[in-house]
Amino acid sequence: MHVDGIPYRTVWLAPDEPGLVRIIDQRKLPFAFEIEDLRTVDAVAVAIRDMHVRGAGCIGATAAYGMVLAAMEASAAADFDSAIHQHAARLVETRPTAVNLRWAVERQLAAMAACDWAGEKIAAAERSARAIADEDADACRRIGEHGLNLIRQLAAAKALGEPVNVLTHCNAGWLAFVDHGSATAPIYAAHLAGVPIHVWVDETRPRNQGARLTAWELGQEGVAHTVIADNTGGHLMQRGLVDLVITGTDRTTYTGDVANKIGTYLKALAARDNGVPFYVALPSSSFDWEIADGLREIPIEERGSEEVSHLSGQAPESDVEVEVRLVPPGTRTANYAFDVTPSRLVTGLITERGICDANGAGIRAMFPERF
């Protein structure tokens, strides 16, 4: 998508320097747009762990590029295979919930295992990383096409010019993928198609990915939006001000249970109580084909307490970002980064192949080769 009118992806390999991975440093947004250079596996692991990059697809693609650097580093080690598996483990352990990370690293290991020599393995990892990034962008683009049909149906029931109101949580935008985003792809497609659309953007405490990232990227594309405090969604739904909820997911079981940013479950409950359709948009790389029970089996990341006890933002009349304490000194905080929405609360899943029911039968019909 665009930054000041210039097309960008979230992560890419520098064309002119072997072994250089470039990312948009998302910690700095929306107050500064900075590109960060990553030259070692360690730097990639830190960038994922400390959320310079974040969002399921984006961390998957970043890890895939990280495995290219891993292959280069392993080629200097006495035992390539042992070194590459150590690097892979280091990357996978950085963030536990988003399954795209493990998926991308395993795909990179498989691509390299098919080659005999270190040079071939590095080349294979590079080809495969580019394919992972391209496929991620393409899957999101196709999610946009399928979701656009839903939005068109809702628009048809509205007075001419009245916008379809979509509520989204966190950032499942292009920043969370390589391009387009999952939850935002139908929104961007509708905007491009001239369908009037307005987005309610949950601020998404504690890290405020909605207020900082989703609002920024929607603004860059000229999509009408309003940031709301996290607890506002239910009130809006009771008043008929939300036509559709679309969220992303960090991991969805093959039975349709959805792990997503903390607070998603409450939006799904409110949507069900108010008859508002609740859709989850995801590329197939965000399915976990191995687990059936999301509540019991999806690992929920717990992050540092300072993300809850402190807030950061721009200081008044300055471009300096400052952090302020929110709670009394010494107060205990808890920081669960994700929750699980049971499949029964999900109206449907918008995938790159089309929209399916959020249950084993619906997912099996869409992806029969996985079962």
Q: Among residues 283 and 362, whose Cβ is nearest to ligand MRU? A: 283
The answer to the question of residue 94 lying near ligand MRU (CB under 6 A) is no
Among 10, 108, 182, 309, binds ligand MRU (CB under 6 A): 182
From the DSSP assignment, how many helices (H) and strands (E) are in the chain? 13, 18
The single residue among 230, 250, 257, 352 that binds ligand MRU, judged by CB under 6 A, is 250
Please identify, among the stretches 5-13, 71-79, 137-145, 164-172, the one whose residues bind ligand MRU according to the rule CB under 6 A.
164-172
Q: Which of 10, 24, 44, 55 is in the footprint of ligand MRU by CB under 6 A?
A: 55
260 binds ligand MRU (CB under 6 A): yes
CA dist 313 and 335 (Å) reads 19
What H or E segment, with its residue span, contains residue 3? strand 2-3
Pairing of strands 310-314, 321-325: antiparallel
Rounded to a whole number of angstroms, the minimum distance from the CB of residue 294 to ligand MRU is 14
Assign residue 173 a region (left: φ > 0; alpha: ψ between -120 and 50; beta: otherwise): beta
Nearer to ligand MRU, 229 or 315 (CB): 229
Site for ligand MRU in 328-347 (CB under 6 A): 337
Nearest to 128 by CA among 100, 106, 101: 106
Pure H helices in the chain: 41-49, 56-74, 80-92, 99-113, 118-156, 184-192, 209, 215-221, 233-238, 264-274, 294-297, 306-309, 360-366
Q: Does 252 bind ligand MRU (CB under 6 A)?
A: no
Stretch that binds ligand MRU, among 135-143, 170-178, 216-224, 226-234 (CB under 6 A): 170-178
Only one of the segments 156-164, 169-177, 223-231, 327-335 lies at the binding site for ligand MRU (rule: CB under 6 A); that segment is 169-177
Considering only residues 289 through 308, tell me which ones interact with ligand MRU, judged by CB under 6 A: none
Interface residue with ligand MRU among 108, 165, 184, 247 (CB under 6 A) is 247
Query: Which residues are bridge partners to 253 per DSSP?
Result: 288
Contact between 176 and ligand MRU per CB under 6 A: yes
Q: In what order do the strands lie in the sheet with 338-341?
A: 287-288, 251-253, 258-261, 338-341
Nearer to ligand MRU, 171 or 343 (CB): 171
Of 27 and 87, which has the nearer Cβ to ligand MRU?
A: 27
Answer yes or no whether residue 56 interacts with ligand MRU by CB under 6 A: yes
Return the closest-CA partner of residue 196 out of 238, 165, 230, 173: 165
Q: Which is nearer to ligand MRU, 77 or 300 (CB)?
A: 300
Q: Is 202 a catalytic residue?
A: no
Span of 110-118, 143-151, 165-173, 226-234 interacting with ligand MRU by CB under 6 A: 165-173
Token digits for 9?
């992806």
- How many CB atoms within 10 Å of residue 288? 20
**DSSP string computed for 15-71:** TTSTT-EEEE-TTSTTT---EEEE-SHHHHHHHHHTTSS-SHHHHHHHHHHHHHHHH
> Which is catalytic among the residues 136, 202, 243, 250?
250
Tokens of 128: 């495969």
Residue 208 as a binder of ligand MRU (CB under 6 A): the answer is no
Measuring CA to CA, how many Å separate 33 from each of 2, 15, 22, 49, 79?
Answer: 12, 21, 13, 20, 40
Q: Report the residue number, 203 or 250, with the smaller CB distance to ligand MRU.
A: 250
Which residues make up the interface to ligand MRU (CB under 6 A)? 54-56, 170-172, 176, 182, 209, 247-250, 260-261, 337
Catalytic annotation, residues: 250
